Amino acid sequence: MIRSESATFDRSVLDLDLEAEADRIAAGLRETTAHVLHRRGLVVAISGGIDSSCCAALAVRALGAGRVLGLVLPERDSSDDSAARAHALATHLGIDVIEFDIAPALEAIGCYAARDAAVREALPAYADGWSFKIVISGGTRGQFNTFGLVARDPDGGMHERRLGRAEYLQIVAATNYKQRIRKTIEYFHADRLNYAVVGTPNRLEYDQGFFVKNGDGSADVKPIAHLYKTQVYAMARHLGLPARICAAVPTTDTYSLEQGQDEFYFALPYAEMDLALWSVEQGRPAADLARALGLDEDQAAAVQADIGNKRRTTRYLHERPVLLHAQPLREEIPA
């Protein structure tokens, strides 16, 4: 389809008939759980954030509260408020909820020790009582993304260091234990109950590879992977979720120093990233995006290029294990 220069490009392009969409997703979840997955219900790990809250509410709409289990899986660095919001959601939805602290498992497997060793390579003074986060920069200026460490000492002093590639990779590898241990717990309960596991990425996260392979990227069904984050917020409000959940700021809830998703991974805050992604999907030029977001054209072009770069870099996260001599799956075993 050829689009004219004057075709609408503002926040209204993400408007959605929310009631119809909620019905469509609920019907899809029912159909998938019954006829594709052949499971009796759904497990949703609820973090207190908007995506998992929305998924849990849609799961309840699909199967009823009695067939949805919520899991709250805190660890040492996740915020107490996240867990409190998750419990408030479970109460609101009327679902069973189990809380399981994964910190001892992470400690035993060496997550925190491996992470802290890598942090100390960049910042030798780092010790107990400090908090830190990783920040990403460069992509919006047309540069390759590089990674930095921001740490706060026990007296409140802030320290910033450029992270070497090896240290960055080890911090990420160690931190990925968190998502992978959580997924192990989710599948324990799914197997125990003969339920399926719901994955909770939104469109931005799914498209840009903002997930851990075999961690939060692993699931049996991903009901909101086609919804932009803006639409997930709108859906949460439409479904009447508690105000404190609808107002939650997206964070990674992964590092000890609070970290917005945009400073870790995305070039811009989510509402602007949604429009940037939409512009790439629709083949709209950087000039259109620049006008819509109030950026200069070079910045808009850099954001669009960064989207393409992240797609390429994370493509392997979406890949199934590669079979070098694939055999077609047979529905029936020959007699």
Partner 1 sequence: MDFRHTVKPFILDNFLFTSDGSALDDRASLIRGGIVDSTGVLELIEFLEETYGIRVAAEEMVPANFDSVDTICAFLSRKLAA
Binding site for partner 1 (CB under 8 A): 137-138, 141-146, 164-165, 169, 309, 312-313
Nearer to partner 1, 1 or 144 (CB): 144
**DSSP codes joined into one string, 251-265:** B---SSS--BHHHHT
Q: Is the CB of 148 or the CB of 260 nearer to partner 1?
A: 148
Sign of the C-alpha dihedral computed for residues 55, 269, 144 and 294 taken in this order: positive
Question: Which amino acid is located at 287 in the chain?
Answer: A
Both tokens of residue 296? 């200069």
In the bound state with partner 1, the residue whose beta carbon lies nearer, of 149 and 241, is 149
Q: Which residue, 87 or 311, has its beta carbon nearer to partner 1?
A: 311
| Cβ partners under 8 Å of residue 72, min gap 6 | 45, 46, 83, 86, 87, 90, 97, 98, 99, 100
CB of 142 to partner 1, least distance (A): 6
- Calpha distance 9→17 (Å, rounded): 18
Give min distance, CB of 276 to partner 1, in A. 18
Q: In the complex with partner 1, which residue's Cβ is closer, 138 or 242?
A: 138
Q: Provide, rounded to whole angstroms, the least separation between the CB of residue 267 and partner 1.
A: 13
Kindly state the smallest distance separating residue 52's Cβ from partner 1, in Å: 28
Residue type, 158: M
Pick the closer one to partner 1 by CB: 232 or 268.
268
CB of 286 to partner 1, least distance (A): 15
Nearest distance, CB of residue 168 and partner 1, angstroms: 8
Q: Is 333 left (phi over 0), alpha (psi -120 to 50) or beta?
A: beta
Cα gap 260→181, rounded to integer Å: 22
**Both structure tokens of 325:** 């001599």
